[in-house]
Amino acid sequence: MMGEFMQAVIAKYNYWIYITLMMIGLYAMIAKNNLIKKIVGMNIFQTAIILFYVSIGVKKGGTLPIVEHGHGAHAHAVHAADYLNPLPHVLMLTAIVVSVATLGVALALGVKVYREYQTLEEDEILARIREK
Amino acid sequence: MKVVGLIIALLAGSLLVYATADFPPLGDPNSPASVHVSPRYIEKTMEETDVPNIVTSVLADYRGYDTMFETTVIFCAGVACFLLLRVYRREEPQERLYRHVLTGVTIHVKAGKLPPSPDFERIDSAWTPHDLIIKTICRLLIPFIQLFALYVIAHGHHSPGGGFQGGVMLGASVIVLAMSQDLRTAVRRLREKADALMCATGVFIYAGTGALCLLLGSNFLDYSALAPVLHVDPIMARSHGIFMVEVGVGVAVMGVMIWIYNNVSSMGKYDEGL
């Protein structure tokens, strides 16, 4: 009973990693007071999702999704079981670059907020807004 | 707020842990994600596109629309940074710092600026001592970084790589220049207008390749229509079409990375960077 449970836990360790990272990111986004820390939390969250997707594409006994002896050997058949699932890789390839671009926009908004209120702490910003 | 945040995070986490019971274990070849569409891509990529790297063929051909709009999203992010931060008001900085090259003496100029001369060089206000090693190493490395980035873009059909990765590396090479020298040197090399034009050109190359297929009487982004223009068979034409699109992605990503860095690091003034 205990052995089965442990086997189930170990067989799915990729999910535990992504859930832990996602909780860290979510907590930082909600609870942190500093806007930059919130942005870092958002990035950790994105990384968790990227890990989740990439780990879904793994196949036991599969190699990189690049067809071996691609040219000149058209005769031999390509078996899907020999290669990792390329689809999550494609989705995450674009997601990584988009996450960098959104990080840039988030930092630009942070700069803008700092210029307006001379602070990045959430409670101080709210206090300044109420003063006006 | 901290307690509420902790409760929400733990609640979301426990829901996901509960859902994990239904997920396939790591590395299961029969997991739902691996049995529906992806076998088709893996088995047909050589027949249909002649591109051994399945990730590249899926990225730029099978899912061409997705990638086109991802590139557009990146372009929009660059434009958003520019619109949020760029200031054109000619607001003179409080004082400029110049260093006498031969003696290393720093002089503060309260108003105005020194006329350009080889004896004095402008330095940032948050200036660290003359860093000869970093400057020299970066100057030596940047050409090789750029060469490798071009290789990554061009060889994306056969090895891990492609427009996104190569574009980020090209952008990083210019950002390294801006960090090791200063922002003004990097902007002199690649003017703001040229950079913005580059972002737009990249997206235009991508969408233009798609529109060219449309003009040649096929579907949007169906590169086999390019075969008569390129004088190759339709399968090879798809391979070449993927390359054209990857170049567009690379140019756009490079431009946007530099644009975002310049705007955020100088707070939109293009005067002093990091």
Q: Which site among B3, B18, B20 would you substitute to test the A interface, given the most A Cβ atoms closer than 10 Å to its Cβ?
A: B20
Q: Smallest Cβ distance to B42: which of A20, A78, A98?
A: A78
Which domains does chain A carry? Answer: 2-64+81-131 (1.10.287.3510)
DSSP alpha helices (H): ranges in chain B?
A: 2-20, 32-35, 38-48, 54-57, 64-85, 132-154, 163-180, 183-189, 192-215, 227-230, 234-265
Average of per-residue pLDDT across B150-176 = 91
Instruction: Supply the range of the domain harboring residue B150.
Output: 51-89+131-265
The predicted-structure confidence for B226-240, as pLDDT tens digits, reads as follows 888 888 888 889 889
pLDDT at A80: 79
Q: Does B257 touch chain A (CB under 8 A)?
A: yes
Residue B83 has pLDDT above 80, yes or no: yes
ipTM at complex level? 0.87
- Scanning B5-34 for CB atoms below 8 A from A yields 5-6, 8-10, 12-13, 16-17, 20, 23, 25-29, 31, 33-34
Residue with tokens 């997991």: B31
Residues of chain B contacting A80 with CB distance shorter than 8 Å? 34, 38-39, 42-43
Q: Does A86 touch chain B (CB under 8 A)?
A: yes
- Gap between the terminal Cα atoms of chain B: 34
pLDDT at B41: 87
What B137-140 contacts at long range (C-beta under 8 Å, 24+ apart), as own/partner pairs, is: B137/B180, B138/B176, B138/B177, B138/B179, B138/B180, B138/B181, B139/B180
Nearest-Cα distance to chain B for A35, in Å, is 15
Q: What does the alpha-carbon distance between residue B142 and residue B139 come to, in Å, rounded to a whole number?
A: 6
Q: Does B52 touch chain A (CB under 8 A)?
A: yes
CB pairs under 8 A between A and B: 180
Q: Which site among B23, B49, B81, B91 would you substitute to test the A interface, given the most A Cβ atoms closer than 10 Å to its Cβ?
A: B81
Residues of chain A contacting B50 with CB distance shorter than 8 Å? 71
- Tokens coding B52: 């051994």
Contact B63 A90 (CB under 8 A): yes
pLDDT at B153: 93
Query: pLDDT band at residue B215, thresholds of 50, 70 and 90?
Result: very high
pLDDT at B271: 79
Residue A68 has pLDDT above 90, yes or no: no
Average of per-residue pLDDT across B190-201 = 93
Percent of chain B with pLDDT over 70: 97
Average of per-residue pLDDT across B178-204 = 90
pLDDT at B92: 65
Q: Does B98 touch chain A (CB under 8 A)?
A: no
Contact A65 B257 (CB under 8 A): no
Contact A89 B55 (CB under 8 A): yes
Residue B169 has pLDDT above 90, yes or no: yes
Percent of chain B with pLDDT over 90: 41
Residue B219's CB is within 10 A of a number of other CB atoms, namely: 12
Asked if A40 contacts A26 with a C-beta cutoff of 8 angstroms, the reply is: no
Residue B124 has pLDDT above 80, yes or no: no
| Residue A60 CA: distances (Å) to CA of A4, B26, B206, B265 | 20, 8, 36, 44
Residue B267 has pLDDT above 80, yes or no: yes
The predicted-structure confidence for B13-55, as pLDDT tens digits, reads as follows 999 989 888 888 888 888 888 888 888 888 888 888 888 888 9
pLDDT at B28: 84
Residue A73 has pLDDT above 60, yes or no: no
Q: How many domains does chain B have?
A: 1
* Chain length of chain B: 274
Q: What are phi and psi of B217, to 5 degrees?
A: 90, 25
Nearest CA in chain A to B158: A66
Contact A66 B52 (CB under 8 A): yes
Q: What does the alpha-carbon distance between residue B158 and residue A7 come to, in Å, rounded to a whole number?
A: 38
Average of per-residue pLDDT across B176-199 = 90
Computed over every residue of chain A, the mean pLDDT equals 87
Query: pLDDT band at residue B130, thresholds of 50, 70 and 90?
Result: low
- Whether residue B34 lies inside any domain: the answer is no
Q: What does the alpha-carbon distance between residue B270 and residue B258 come to, in Å, rounded to a whole number?
A: 12
Residue B122's CB is within 10 A of a number of other CB atoms, namely: 17
- Whether residue B41 lies inside any domain: the answer is no
Strands B96-100 and B120-123: antiparallel
Residue B157 has pLDDT above 60, yes or no: yes
Nearest-Cα distance to chain B for A131, in Å, is 22
Q: What are phi and psi of B37, to 5 degrees?
A: -95, -40
pLDDT at B268: 81
Query: pLDDT band at residue B95, thresholds of 50, 70 and 90?
Result: confident
Q: Does A20 touch chain B (CB under 8 A)?
A: yes
